[in-house]
Amino acid sequence: MTQSIDPADPGLPALRLLVAIADHGALGAAAREIGMAQSNASRALTGLERRLGLGLVRRSAAGSSLTPEGVLVVGWARDVVDAMDRLTAGATAVRGGGTEVGVAASMTIAEYLAPAWLAALRRARPGLAVTMQIMNSTGVVDAVRHGRADVGFIESPDVPDDVHSVAVGTDRLVVIIAPDHPWADRRGSVTVEEVAETALVEREAGSGTRQFLDRAAADHGIPRRIAPMAELTSNAAIVAAVAAGMGPAVLSIHAVRGALVDGRVLGVPVVGGPIERELRAMWIGGPTPPPAVAGLVEIASAAQEGPGAAR
């Protein structure tokens, strides 16, 4: 049976606008976020409210806020917008074979691993243009899900069900302290429980390292309830803070190797052996990487299996 299109159906741009208003709390900021002129945004919002027969947004000099009805509608609107983004990203991925690849990578991978991968890809496919966005693991997942990146690389333990992923290697995490930290006098190891119950210098919420620590502690039956000593968005800044005596931290071996070698920080063994996490590549589309990114995924996997792999 053929179903005609209802002209009263809310359009996708108006739904994107509503979601952006919920995120930014202002019509102007929401319009800029989605690339819509503010005059058009006002008309789009008015048209959406008229088509749905609901008041969705309260507008005032202080900004824009959702009505109770708007809160409900924006939840449904997110589902529609996300589904359309996944459809577009999936179609692009399946089409593949282009001359441009967008990569999103978490901070640790982008700083210490991805440059060598991209150089190898450049040698294998000199005509392929590659752009890379650097963000935390939560941001990488969002970029892939919404088509802003063709492939993402993360070290987070949480991969959503609506993307495909494959392990490309492992990464060892190291507990680091300043040379004069009390743990340095123990001449022994720390337990996962001790690490979980200590205020650490940490990456921001949403980073793969922090998510992994939370999961590891939960697996040992110890939810992490202690607030970080400090939150820093740079691995290098965390190493510097630890060396200055701010407190312990847990970072990738790639991020701390230089500081360990020159003695600025000390590594503390963890009872039960090294803490390791998976590095994963993720994409939208079929169960195997689309042609445009398959080569990079293969290079990442081979590099982690070779002599340069973290042990």
CA gyration radius, the chain: 23
114: alpha, beta or left, given left = phi > 0 and alpha = psi -120 to 50? Answer: alpha
Q: Are residues 52 and 147 in the same domain?
A: no
Q: Check residues 156 and 236 and name the one with the higher pLDDT.
A: 236
Could you give the number of structural domains in the chain?
2
Q: Are residues 185 and 202 in the same domain?
A: yes
Range of the domain at 27: 12-91
Tens digits of residue pLDDT in 117-144: 998 988 888 888 889 999 988 899 999 9
Which of 125, 121, 81 is CA-nearest to residue 103?
121
List the end-to-end C-alpha distance of the chain, in Å, as a whole number: 60
Q: Are residues 283 and 245 in the same domain?
A: yes
Contact 208, 288 (CB under 8 A): no
| Residue 5 pLDDT class (50, 70, 90 cuts) | very low
Share of the chain above pLDDT 70, in %: 90
Tens digits of residue pLDDT in 201-220: 998 887 878 888 888 777 77
CATH number at residue 55: 1.10.10.10
Q: Are residues 144 and 243 in the same domain?
A: yes
Domain end call among 91, 110, 126: 91
**Residue 5 in domain:** no
| Residue 6 pLDDT class (50, 70, 90 cuts) | very low
Distance CA 126, CA 211 (A): 36
Which of 32, 22, 165, 144 is CA-nearest to residue 89?
144
Q: Are residues 143 and 22 in the same domain?
A: no
**Residue 4 in domain:** no
Sign of CA dihedral 18, 20, 24, 30: negative
Distance CA 217, CA 122 (A): 40
pTM of the entire predicted model: 0.65
**Residue 208 in domain:** yes
Q: What DSSP element (H or E) covers 187?
A: none
Q: Are residues 86 and 109 in the same domain?
A: no
The pLDDT value recorded for residue 3 is 42
Q: Are residues 290 and 245 in the same domain?
A: yes
**Residue 1 in domain:** no
**Residue 125 in domain:** yes
Which residues, including other chains, have CB under 8 Å from residue 7's CB and lie 6 or more apart?
none
Q: Are residues 308 and 256 in the same domain?
A: yes
CATH number at residue 197: 3.40.190.290
**Residue 2 in domain:** no
How many CB atoms within 10 Å of residue 172?
Answer: 14
